[in-house]
Amino acid sequence: MNKSVPIWLQLVLLVILLIAGAALWQVRAPVGAAIAQFMGSPAEKAGGKARKPGSRAVPVIVARVGQVRNDELITAVGTARARRSVMLHAKTDGVIVAFPQRAGARVKAGQTIFELDSKQAKLAVQIAEKRLEEARRLLERSELLQRNRVNSSANVTDAKVVAERAELELSQAKEVLQDLNIVAPFDGVLG
């Protein structure tokens, strides 16, 4: 048999329970104080002041101050990014002959990271220096001959152009030689 309780009776019981719960909630502090007074509070037993009725006890953890070693290991997953990074490439191709730094090494700006084979570039600088010497001698000779009225001004102009071109070729050869030494553009760590 299935007997059902009328809905109005269920509502009346719910209201009575709510009123009883609210009343107990309101008198919880005085009831707790009365129980504590009856049992005797630890403060009164120690000769101290008793708490005011209605005030709540706060748990306190007391410990001696000192140094403690913390050996906790924290493992985390994340992403790290460098503030500055650069991908270095040589301006010319060649064989790496020196790699004085290792991955993870700290480098200063201007410090050599690796060097390419520079035999051919050094020879090119020497050849350009000889051409410049020869062009300057030719220019001096042309100017001397012009002062003696044996040579024309066109020949002197040509000699000046040859000397200037030789200077440019020497500058270019020195720059190629310098480009074979790859240096760090800023302070950092090699990756």
In a domain, 76, yes or no: no
Q: 108 and 185 in one domain?
A: yes
CA distance 111 to 57: 67
pLDDT at 23 over 60: yes
Residue span of the structural domain in which 41 resides: 7-45
SS3 category, 177: helix
**Average pLDDT value for residue range 103-107:** 88
CA distance 139 to 166: 12
In a domain, 134, yes or no: yes
- Check residue 43 and give its pLDDT: 53
Element (H, E) at 182: strand 181-183
**Average pLDDT value for residue range 6-21:** 93
In a domain, 74, yes or no: no
- Check residue 41 and give its pLDDT: 52
Q: pTM of this prediction? A: 0.50
Q: 106 and 167 in one domain?
A: yes
pLDDT at 117 over 70: yes
Q: 163 and 101 in one domain?
A: yes
SS3 category, 25: helix
- Check residue 42 and give its pLDDT: 56
Per residue in 140-154, pLDDT tens?
Answer: 999 888 888 887 888
SS3 category, 7: helix
Half-sphere exposure of 124 (CA within 13 A, CB side): 15
In a domain, 36, yes or no: yes
pLDDT at 90 over 70: yes
**Residue 177 near residue 125 (C-beta atoms within 8 A):** yes
pLDDT at 84 over 90: no
Q: 100 and 26 in one domain?
A: no
In a domain, 64, yes or no: no
Nearest CA-CA partner of 144 in 134, 131, 159, 130:
159
Q: 106 and 35 in one domain?
A: no
Long-range Cβ contacts of 154-161 (<8 Å, 24+ apart): 159/135
Dump the DSSP string for 78-122: -----SS------SS---EEE----TT-EE-TT-EEEEE--HHHH
For the chain, the domain total comes to 2
Q: 109 and 35 in one domain?
A: no
Q: 107 and 40 in one domain?
A: no
In a domain, 66, yes or no: no
In a domain, 51, yes or no: no
In a domain, 13, yes or no: yes
Q: 30 and 112 in one domain?
A: no
Q: 102 and 17 in one domain?
A: no
Q: Alpha-carbon torsion 164, 168, 174, 177, what sign?
A: negative
Q: 103 and 40 in one domain?
A: no
